[in-house]
């Protein structure tokens, strides 16, 4: 399945979310339309690691799903292009190596979605110590949630689908 097809499936499935009575009003659960249908801007594509995110941001401009599981948020493209090193890492520091990463989203519990700039894998960083754009990978938890961004989107769709269908046995991303 292409990233565009996966995003389209997420959009279709979200309409079922509003049929569920949670006992409280739902927030705005949206998948933003792609802002640059004719090609992504140079300010984005020239940044290290963005090659792995091109298929995502060609399909949509991020999403906000506060009412799905514990919440999923993928930043708009303009916010991915301008990282804030005071609150977002660009490096995971570990025992023997450093991994350059690009943050592109988060969960409702404060974990961050980042893409490994070299391999393209999507990593989940639990809330942890960070200073000057360096996430402490020894003290914090780093989990690879998908080998590629398209695989990550498919996992996200399965999370949306399982949550809306009330599947309590599903293994969620976070």
- Determine, yes or no, domain membership for 30: yes
Contact criterion met (CB below 8 Å) for 112 and 106: yes
Q: Residue 138 belongs to a domain with what CATH number? A: 3.40.1580.10
pTM of the model: 0.95
Mean local confidence (pLDDT), 105-115: 97
Does residue 15 surpass a pLDDT of 90?
yes
Q: Does 117 reside within a domain? A: yes
Q: Is 23 left (phi over 0), alpha (psi -120 to 50) or beta?
A: left
Q: How far is CA 118 from CA 60, 90, 115, in A?
A: 23, 12, 9
Residue 172, domain member (yes or no): no
Would residue 51 count as lying in a domain?
A: yes
Domain count, the chain: 1
Flag whether 65 is in a domain. yes
169 lies in some domain: no
For 61-91, the pLDDT digits (tens) are 999 999 999 999 999 999 998 888 889 999 9
- The reply to whether 8 falls in a domain is yes
Q: Do the domain assignments include residue 174?
A: no
Query: What residue numbers bound the domain in which 77 lies?
Result: 3-164
Q: What is the mean pLDDT of the chain?
A: 95
User: Rounded to whole angstroms, what are the CA distances from 96 to 49, 77, 79, 130, 154?
Assistant: 21, 32, 30, 17, 32
Assign 104 a pLDDT band (cuts: 50, 70, 90). very high
Residue 31 to residue 24: CA distance in whole angstroms:
21
Q: Per-residue confidence at 40, pLDDT binned at 50, 70, 90?
A: confident
Residue bearing tokens 């190596």: 97
């Amino acid at each position: 399945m292409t990233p565009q097809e996966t995003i389209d499936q997420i959009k279709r499935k979200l309409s079922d979310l509003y049929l569920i009575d949670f006992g409280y009003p739902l927030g705005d659960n949206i998948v933003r339309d792609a802002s640059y249908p004719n090609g992504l801007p140079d300010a984005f594509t020239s940044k290290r690691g963005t090659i792995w995110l091109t298929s995502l941001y060609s399909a949509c401009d991020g999403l906000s799903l506060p009412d799905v599981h514990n919440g999923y948020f993928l930043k708009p493209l303009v916010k991915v292009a301008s990282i804030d090193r005071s609150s977002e890492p660009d490096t995971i520091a570990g025992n023997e190596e450093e991994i350059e990463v690009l943050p592109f989203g988060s969960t409702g519990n404060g974990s961050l979605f980042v893409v490994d700039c070299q391999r393209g894998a999507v990593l989940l960083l639990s809330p942890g110590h960070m200073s000057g754009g360096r996430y402490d990978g020894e003290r914090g938890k780093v989990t690879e949630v998908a080998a590629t961004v398209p695989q990550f989107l498919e996992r996200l769709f399965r999370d949306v689908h399982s949550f809306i269908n009330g599947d309590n046995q599903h293994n969620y991303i976070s």
